[in-house]
Structure 1
Amino acid sequence: MQSLEARVTEPAQSHDPDQPVRSPLGRRLEPALYAVAILVVGLAYRSTFIGLGFNATDEGFRASLARRIVEGQVPYRDFDTNFAPVSIYKEAAIQIVFGSAYDFLVSRWAFVVEATLASVVAYLILRMFVGTRRAFWLALPTTFFSILLYVYENYTYDGEFFALLSLLLLLQSSPARRWLAVASGGSACLAMLSKPPFAGFVVFVLIAAVLGGLWLGSDSERYPMLFGVRRLWPQFIAGFSATFVAILGAFALVGAAQAYLYDVFVYFGQSNPTPLGFVVWQDLPTAFSRRELELFAAVLAVLAVAVVSGHPWLRALALLAVPAGIGAYFVRHHDPGDFLPMAMGLLLVVNLLALAATLAVRAPWVRSSWRAAELKDRLPAPELFYFALSLQYLAQFTGTGIFYSYLGTFLSLPAALMFMAAILGPVPVTFRWRRLAQPALAPAALAVWLMLASILYVQNTAYFDYPRSQLHTRFSTPGLAGIISNPANVQRVDGLVNAVDTYTKPGDPIFVIPDYPALYELTGRRNPTRLDWYQSILLTPQIIQHAVSDLGADPPKVVIVETRYEQDYSRSRADQIIDYEHTRAAPIYSYIFAHYHTVEMVGDISVMLPN
């Protein structure tokens, strides 16, 4: 018998039977044209809201860290951050490339390009399991769903992009192209170096390699693209290890290796201990209301009927009931702002059922039935749903739970749609309602709901800013050109920048606490301490002691002290008033109030000069 390695020389491309036969040139160009179409749609749609809203803390934090690198500082050695290196070095590279033309809008566009390219990578993965045209339509909704809150550089998107790229490279590897498995491991390492929890992606690959080889080996000829996953894991691990050793060695050469390992892998756990249960399960299932859990159970039950039923009409009705029921439920019980957790729960349960179904039809006690054989022919390999769930799972590790796992749906969204299309199966030509039993109808309806609800969500929500309908004022600060926010936020940020310009000159030390690290980047002033954002969960006794010492050794010319945390953008929450004496940063505030006095107020924010 011919060996698997002899049979598999290149990853197979599935043929879409509904797609007309094209010329050789057309076949070569078509995948690229669809990829370009996804890129164009993503960039065009996001251009409608990319400049709306501004948060000087979450977004400004990344820019200020990158600026330190541009100015010659080494992260972890010269300043503290729990961010892994890829994201901040990437932002520093953008600052270097654009030079004086760099501003926050430029950074946002770089982020949008990366996020849209992630949809393109997802499309390239999908087309290895289905036809090119179907892969395009399955991936297209991710350009609407994948950016909802964050409109700026984020380490989770970096991790997702490199994990998706790693999976694509591993699927493209073959006996003749083992080096792609090595490159896949390198990309997986970059995912971890973007966000440490993505180290779990390596574990997921190893699990797929072991279990896939043991239980799913009979599929090898049908799914040659899984050769790399099941057989080239040693090369994958080699690529991962070599990349990590190289990065760690580079930090060691500049005396930052030990500090890097502590800051990225230990520091946050010490400053913000998290129960093991939350680490594993995040906020499941408490993130959902009882009504939402009942909805998920109903969707699961209806889809299960569609999976096992031998009657085409019942399968068709069950599938159509899913988007119809979700739409009716959403109109009755939800407003656009509640869309996100509901959507995430739906994608989770659909993909879990898909994974269970693809495994069940291969089980010895089931696979002999005609329905199991039919489903096995129509469903993609279990690994697709497995990795889709894995990437969605890894995305939620932000300390905020499943709410932010939408950042990891580049595969889970299209995989859920693919599953719904596959389980219908052939419909007899004599079926009276044949037009309502098209495989694409139910998933298309669900995709339309996801896209329209995403558009409504974006129109009603800006990250820590007012609804977009209330964002109509432009900043006068040059670094924020092209960005629009609510008048109060614009007045605060512009006013603080003007105050810093009045009392200091470029390069002078200033200190901002606890929020607004964007001011370091916007004013061209430097922070004399090791931390740019004095977020309570980032503060340890050692950090606080260092800060007080640094302020004494290199006194800032201006200190800016908030009375409320910036996330209280409406200035309406009593719990967001800063109680200086009872925060972790109390020693820092005591030092400031003993050595500085207020000279003006910008809104409710104090601008202080030395006594």
Structure 2
Amino acid sequence: MSVYSQIKLKRRYLALATAWILLIATATHMAYSAYGFNPTDDGFTLAYARRIIDGQVPHRDFIIIRPALSPLLHTPEIILGGQWTYWLSRFIFFLQFACISWFGTSFIRHRLNNSMTLPDQCIFAIISFTLGCHSFPVMAWHTIDGLFLCTLALHLHSVLSGRYRPLIYVLLGLAYLCKQSFIFVAPGVLLISGDWRDWRNFIASSMPGILYIGMLGLFGGVLDGWQQLFAQTGILRVGIASYLNVHVLAGVITGITASILLYRRVHDGKQQFESNCLLGGRTLIFGTLIMVTISLFFNSTTSTAFSLFGMVCGTTIYLFLRRDYRWCSVVQTGLIVALIAWSASLSLGYNTPALANGPLAVYLAGLAYEQAKKQRPHWFTRISITTMLFSIIAFHHTRMHHIYRDQPAKKLTASIGNILPGGLSISTNPNTYAFLSDLNLAIENVLARGLEYAIVPAVAGHWPKAKQKNPLPIDWAQGTELSSEALRNRVIQSILDRRDQQMIIVQKVKAPSLASGFTPIDENDTFYFIVAYIRAHLEPIVATEFFEIYR
């Protein structure tokens, strides 16, 4: 093929990729972004972004237990969004997931060295999108930012020459500045791919972290950063103990069995037996993918994701133990995909590899595709299209019926554009609407007294476009974000230091469960320690239906 033909082919591929990503992102955004809102997670990352725009230094001026690249990445949504901030942010969410799906599928396609066509890649990318996006809340989030950077880097790793490797490892280094659990990805890819032989790649993957520490040193936030970034110490529980379950075990056994059937070699005269083995292996793989798709209907993808992870591990273990496959690209790809899924799952609130369902599923489908070339490739195309259509139906169902911390879409009749700054075109349930309306009454009560207001414990969604800056160093004052005594004391001290300038608006009811009713906050609930402290040490001034105001 001539150089001109290669350039023309690459341009066509780039045009197709861009069109696919924009089409999927726009279609899902228009279909689902309007539904659901909860003032806890929604706006959490955007509230941090607002602080950066206001000139605050991460860790020094506000508490953030993760590196601050994610808030920085989402500052354009605050600057450009206006009253449409949440609407714009939700488009970015779907755009990122479309990119994750395309980049991940492209990486696996190139690494497995198979003859997957572009139409096939589009089919697998759609399956990847529906399984990876599943019912996860439509919001700016650090794990999604990290996955986006990882899959972008791996896509470039598979299509660019070796001289661009340092750039690729800079991207992998940036991923752990979104969430520190991704710190294992860059060294893992270095070792698995053999890129460790070039010292420049080590430096490139370390540079983002070095620059981040340098930034904190320049602005005086190193000690605060150390205190916050290492506040959580439960990696053994979320990274190992959570994987010791029956779903992973069943996945490993299924993966090994499928690999034995797919890669079985027989002597002449036994072609029918080999054909049956290949059929059995493909059936196990697509049966698992359909099982995960079915779980979308019941909003149980977080559990079945462990089965997908185990299956990838099982196939990789089997191939590694075979001498003819021991360290080939198929094994390397399986290890990298599993590593990224595991890194994404290291979380107290979402301890599952479900966000990486897409790459996990495409890797398994890619193995089946590679073996399908030996016989009946049309059968494989038909089952792939069937799986894709089924996944689209299941995805639509879960997006309309299993909305994060909210009611089904048909019950979301209250538009919050007139009561939440930046919330235009977003709808929620009547309970959440009443809660936010009452919050505005409480805020007006404080402002009428000529004072600043702070809100605790769980209304981070108010702050991204609020007219006033948050005077406290935390937007979501709960146990996960304030897991150490030092961090809790910092919040308490900030309340005491500004007692003559501000009033504290305290929730009476729990925000996470607003969709199902108004559950009172228990003073003995250590997760919301700040509520008990304020009620015990500050003076109550006035109360509304859902809030108390203290000074």
TM-score range, shorter chain: 0.7 to 0.9
Q: Tell me the residue number matched to 2:148.
A: 161
Aligned to 1:452, the other structure's residue is in SS state: helix
Answer yes or no: is the 8 Å Cα contact 2:45–2:142 preserved in 1: no
1:246 pairs with 2:246? no
- Change in Cα spacing, 1:419 to 1:543, as seen in structure 2 (3 Å) is same
Change (3 A) 1:296 1:205: closer
Q: 1:581, 1:402 → 2: CA distance?
A: 26
Deviations 1:252-290 (A, max 9, x none): 1111133223312x1233xxxx2x5424325124374xx
Q: CA deviation at 1:517?
A: 2.0
CA shift for structure 1 position 585 = 5.5
Matches within 5 A, 1:306-385: 306-308=262-264, 310=266, 311-319=273-281, 321-322=283-284, 336-341=297-302, 343-361=304-322, 363=323, 367=324, 381-385=330-334
1:46 and 2:46 correspond:
no
* AA partner of residue 245 (structure 2): T
1:500 corresponds to 2:443: yes
Which residue of structure 2 aligns with residue 32 of structure 1?
14
> Quick one: which amino acid aligns to residue 487 of structure 1?
P
Match of 2:42 among 42, 51, 59: 59
Deviations 1:440-498 (A, max 9, x none): 34444444444433332222211111222322221122421111111111121132124
CA deviations 1:282-316 (Å, max 9, x no partner) are 5124374xxx9668745753553343264343135
In the alignment, which residue of structure 2 is the partner of 1:544?
488
1:489 counterpart residue number? 432
Indicate the percent of aligned positions where both proteins have the same amino acid: 17
> Does the 8 Å CA contact 1:51/1:484 hold for their aligned counterparts?
yes
Distance 1:347 1:524, change over 3 A: same
Aligned mates of 1:519, 1:57 — CA distance in 2: 9
- Could you say what secondary structure the match of 1:531 adopts? coil
What TM-score, normalized by structure 2, do the two folds share? 0.85
- Structure 1 or 2, whichever has the larger Rg, is 1
CA distance in 1, matches of 2:217, 2:449: 32
- Give the SS at the match of 1:463: coil
Give the total of aligned pairs: 533
Residues 169 and 183 in structure 1, CA contact (< 8 A), matched pair in contact too: no
TM superposition shift of 1:340: 0.4
Q: Structure 2, unaligned stretches of length 5 or more?
A: 267-272
Decide whether aligned partners of structure 1 residues 81 and 450 sit closer, same or farther in structure 2, where only a CA change above 3 A counts.
same
Preserved contact between residue 388 and residue 409 of structure 1 (Cα < 8 Å): no
Quick check: 1:507–1:525 contact (8 Å CA) kept in 2? no
Helix, strand or coil at the partner of 1:608: strand
Change (3 A) 1:328 1:109: closer
Please say if 1:200 is aligned against 2:184. Answer: yes
In structure 1, the gaps of 5 or more residues are 1-12, 14-21, 211-228, 428-433
Please report how far the alpha carbon of residue 594 of structure 1 lies from its aligned counterpart in structure 2 after TM superposition.
4.7
Cα 1:111–1:546, aligned 2, differ >3 Å: closer, same or farther? same
1:35: how far off? 0.3
User: What letter is aligned with 2:495?
Assistant: L
Paired with 1:440 and 1:565, the residues of 2 have a C-alpha distance of: 49
Choose the corresponding residue for 2:540, options 577, 594, 597.
597
Q: Tell me how far 1:502 sits from its aligned partner.
A: 4.5
Query: Cα 1:193–1:577, aligned 2, differ >3 Å: closer, same or farther?
Result: same
**1:591: Cα distance to partner?**
3.8
Residue equivalent to 2:355: 407
Query: Which amino acid counterpart does residue 268 of structure 1 have in structure 2?
Result: Q
Q: Deviations over 1:187-230 (max 9, x none)?
A: 111101001011100231233145xxxxxxxxxxxxxxxxxx36
Distance 1:440 1:507, change over 3 A: farther
Partner of residue 379 from structure 2, selected from 424, 428, 438 = 438
Deviates more, 1:445-454 or 1:184-193: 445-454
What pairs up with 1:75-154 in 2 under 5 angstroms? 75-96=58-79, 98=80, 100-101=82-83, 103-128=85-110, 129-130=113-114, 131-133=116-118, 134-147=120-133, 148-154=135-141
Cα separation, 1, equivalents of 2:450 and 2:407? 33
Helix, strand or coil at the partner of 2:540: strand
Does the CA contact (< 8 Å) of 2:105 and 2:121 recur in 1? Answer: yes
Give CA-to-partner distance per residue, 1:323-344, whole Å, 9 cap, x none. 785599789x968224403541
Equivalent position of 2:227 in the other structure: 262
Alpha-carbon separation, structure 2, partners of 1:391 and 1:507: 50
Q: Distance in 1 between matches of 2:296 and 2:90?
A: 28
1:387 aligns with 2:359: no
Call closer, same or farther: CA 1:58–1:301 in 2, change over 3 Å.
same
TM-score normalised by length of structure 1 = 0.78
SS at match of 1:537: coil
Q: 1:524 aligns with which of 461, 467, 476?
A: 467
Aligned to 1:68: 51
Separation (CA, whole Å) in 2 of partners of 1:594 and 1:245: 42
Classify the secondary structure of the residue corresponding to 2:365.
helix
Q: Secondary structure at the match of 2:148?
A: helix
- Give the alignment partner of residue 260 of structure 2, picking from 298, 304, 309: 304
Deviation at 1:67, TM superposition (A): 1.5
Change (3 A) 1:545 1:488: same
For the 8 Å contact 2:261–2:278, the answer to whether it is kept is: no
The residue correspondences of 1:226-237 to structure 2 (distance < 5 A) are 229=195, 231-232=197-198, 234-237=199-202
Aligned runs of 1:424-463 on 2, under 5 Å?
424-427=372-375, 438-463=379-404
Tell me which residue corresponds to 1:560: 505
Say which of 365, 382, 390 aligns to 1:417.
365
Higher mean C-alpha deviation, range 246-255 or range 439-448: 439-448
CA separation of 1:299/1:203 partners in 2, compared to 1, >3 Å: closer, same or farther?
A: closer
Aligned-partner residue type, residue 336 of structure 2: F
